């Protein structure tokens, strides 16, 4: 006990840097955003009216926010399951001790080293309707690639953004799942093999339960990332195509250069706080709902 007390000053000193950084870069902005969310200010943000906490509800039920919420949830539904399945699939394929497998692992994980901006620009150029490679090669089968272009068609724009997003996040899922696969004890597979379990059986009864904690983690991260998708949209579609605004997600509504709330700090803050609450709620649902079905190997 005495010793513990003696450690306190040192503990404080050692914690200080991260406490200060988190306070300045995370806690303060969050508090400030919550505070700004119910203010209606002039251009310089010095003269403000307090619109009350009801402002959050007004923003939440506004047509624009509801539309953006719908787009965000759609994007989440498109990217999270597909990203998860593809990531696990590739990781299982590459989890073999074969000569040269390292090359494939490098390729599969390479997108983790590709920034959203670079990935989006690559897809943007590939999908460009006039001079893009895809339009040149496949527009005979898929005229939408040329006219008006995958990113310009209200029916396909979100799908194209989701595709680019899945691709960009694949490396992350692959690396995390690969690491989890390698930590599964080999003797479990051997016992299952002795018991007569085939490849499929070993995957569903050994692999999946053993990597379930990792899958939960990846699901939560992918969900949060999907709800925070901004870069792909800013670079690929600009929230369009108009007038449907089929890719205006909540982050794009908040930060987009052509957003109608771009000049209004209070409303932007309110929308950002709502997005935070939404992500938090979803993460809680996922943790509470899936946690019990997850085997932590304790």
Partner 1 sequence: MRTRPTRVAVAFAALTLVAACSGGGSITDSGDTQPPAGESTVADTGGETTVAESTTSVPADSLPDCPTDALADATGTTEITFWHGMSGPLGEELTRLTDAYNASQDKVKVSLVQGSYEETADNYYQASADDRPDIVQLPEYQVQAMVDTASAIPVGKCLEASGFDTSAFLPTALQAYSTAGVQWAMPFNISNPVLFYNKRVFEAAGLDPNTPPASLEEMRSMSQQIVESGAAKFGLSLESGFDSGGGWYVEQWFAKAQEFYVDGDNGRTTRATKVLYNNQTGVDLLTFLQQMLNDGLAVDVGDNSQTGYDNLLKMADQTEPAAMTINTSASLGPVLAVLGSGQFPNINANDVGVGPMPGPDGAPGALIGGAALWMVDSGDDVSTAATWDFLTYLVGAQVQSEWAVATGYVPNRTDALDLEPYKGTVAADPRFAVAYQQLLDTPDAPTSAGPVVGPLRQIRSVLATAVAAVFNGEDVQTVLDAAAEQANGLIADYNARN
Query: Footprint of partner 1 on this chain (CB under 8 A)?
Result: 39-51, 55, 58-66, 69, 124, 128-131, 146-149, 152, 235-238, 240-243, 245, 253, 257-265, 267, 271, 281-282, 284-285, 288-289
C-alpha to C-alpha distance for 208 and 298, rounded to whole angstroms: 16
**Minimum CB distance to partner 1 smaller for 196 or for 243:** 243
For partner 1, the closer of residues 228 and 262 by Cβ is 262
Residue from 281, 270, 262, 282 nearest 65 by CA:
270
Instruction: Show the tokens assigned to 260.
Output: 């109608």
What's the min distance (Å) between Cβ of 170 and partner 1?
24
**Closer residue to partner 1 in complex, CB, 289/297:** 289
Shortest distance (Å) from residue 9 CB to partner 1: 36
Min CB(184)–partner 1 separation in Å: 27
Closest distance of CB 118 from partner 1, Å? 16
- The reply to whether omega before 10 is within 30° of 0 (cis) is no
Whole-number minimum distance, CB 262 to partner 1, in Å?
A: 6
Nearest alpha-carbon partner for 65 in 271, 278, 237, 205: 271
Would you say 28 or 101 has its CB closer to partner 1? 28
Q: Which is nearer to partner 1, 210 or 270 (CB)?
A: 270
How near is the Cβ of 112 to partner 1 at its closest, in Å? 26
Nearer to partner 1, 84 or 233 (CB): 233
The residue among 262, 277, 202, 218 whose CA lies nearest residue 85 is: 218
Q: Where are the alpha helices (DSSP H) in 42-145?
A: 54-61, 63-94, 101-109, 116-127, 133-138
Contacts of 119 (CB under 8 A, 6+ apart): 111, 164, 167, 168, 232
């Amino acid at each position: 006990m005495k010793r513990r007390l003696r450690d306190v000053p040192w503990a404080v000193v050692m914690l200080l840097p991260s406490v200060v950084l988190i306070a300045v870069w995370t806690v303060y902005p969050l508090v400030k955003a919550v505070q700004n969310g119910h203010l209606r200010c002039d251009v310089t943000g010095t003269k403000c009216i307090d619109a009350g906490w009801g402002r959050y509800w007004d923003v939440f039920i506004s047509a624009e926010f509801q539309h953006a919420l719908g787009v965000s949830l759609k994007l989440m539904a498109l990217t999270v399951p597909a990203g998860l399945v593809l990531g696990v699939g590739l990781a299982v394929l590459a989890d073999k001790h074969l000569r040269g497998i390292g090359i494939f692992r490098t390729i599969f994980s390479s997108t983790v080293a590709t920034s959203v901006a670079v990935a989006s620009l690559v897809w943007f150029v590939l999908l460009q309707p006039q001079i893009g490679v895809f339009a040149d090669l496949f527009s005979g089968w898929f005229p939408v690639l040329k006219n008006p272009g995958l990113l310009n068609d209200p029916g396909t724009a979100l799908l194209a953004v989701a595709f680019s997003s899945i691709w960009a996040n694949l490396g992350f899922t692959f690396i995390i799942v690969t690491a989890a696969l390698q930590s599964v004890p080999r003797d479990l597979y051997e016992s299952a093999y002795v018991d007569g379990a085939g490849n499929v059986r070993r995957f569903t009864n050994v692999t999946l339960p053993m990597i379930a904690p990792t899958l939960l983690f990846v699901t939560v991260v992918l969900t949060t990332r999907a709800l925070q998708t901004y870069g792909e949209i800013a670079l690929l579609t600009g929230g369009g195509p108009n007038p449907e605004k089929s890719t205006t997600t909540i982050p794009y509504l908040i930060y987009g250069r052509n957003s109608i709330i771009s000049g209004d700090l209070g409303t932007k803050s309110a929308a950002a706080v709502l997005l935070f609450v939404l992500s938090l709620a979803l993460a809680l649902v996922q943790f509470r709902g899936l946690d019990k079905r997850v085997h932590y190997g304790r």
